[in-house]
Amino acid sequence: MTYEERLAEIQAKRDAAKAARVKRDDAEMLGVVGELLLMNEEYYVVRVPDAAAELCGHVVMRPPTSGEFSMFRHTMFRDAKQAGITEARAKAGLQLAAQCRVYPDPEKYAALVDKYPAVADECGKAAYKAAEAGAEAEVKK
């Protein structure tokens, strides 16, 4: 097999994997993800377009409740003294993401996060942003 043939074989495999991911994303958006987003306008989605085709490609989240957000703050500040701020932020974000996740089910979410750990961080950031509800402070200079 020549170098060019090997490259073509690798590219064909990558193209097939991408097509499978696109098919999965379309099915999710036309199915349960789309329905959830239509049912509740406060829900939002974290896309994971490059996740393996056998895993979910979307995580549907809802904004955190005031109690969940209070727990997020408590975890951040309590644990910051013990484990350090970076670790406390990570732990608090992971907890917030897990609490606010609507889709997929816990097993599928765990499989996604096991393979792509930073997805949980993005979900935590998204939950935090949802709690802000687009609020921006205007500061006088």
Give the pLDDT mean for 104-117.
Answer: 91
Query: pLDDT at residue 134 above 70?
Result: no
Q: Which runs of E-coded beta strand occur in 14-64?
A: 44-47, 58-61
The predicted structure's pLDDT at residue 108: 92
Share of the chain above pLDDT 90, in %: 29
Q: Which CATH number is associated with domain 3-132?
A: 3.30.2220
Give the pLDDT mean for 37-61.
Answer: 88
pLDDT, tens digit (0-9, with 9 covering 90-100), for 30-43? 888 888 888 888 88
pLDDT, tens digit (0-9, with 9 covering 90-100), for 112-128? 999 998 898 899 888 88
Q: Which helix (H) or strand (E) holds 115?
A: helix 106-115
The predicted structure's pLDDT at residue 136: 65
The predicted structure's pLDDT at residue 81: 67
Query: pLDDT at residue 135 above 70?
Result: no
The predicted structure's pLDDT at residue 7: 92
Q: Is the dihedral of CA 114, 73, 125, 101 positive or negative?
A: positive
Least confident of 50-54, 88-92, 94-98, 132-136: 132-136
Q: b vs e for 67-105, b when ≥16 Cβ sit within 10 Å of the residue's Cβ?
A: ebbebbeebbeebbeeeeeeebbbbbbbbbbbbbbbbbe
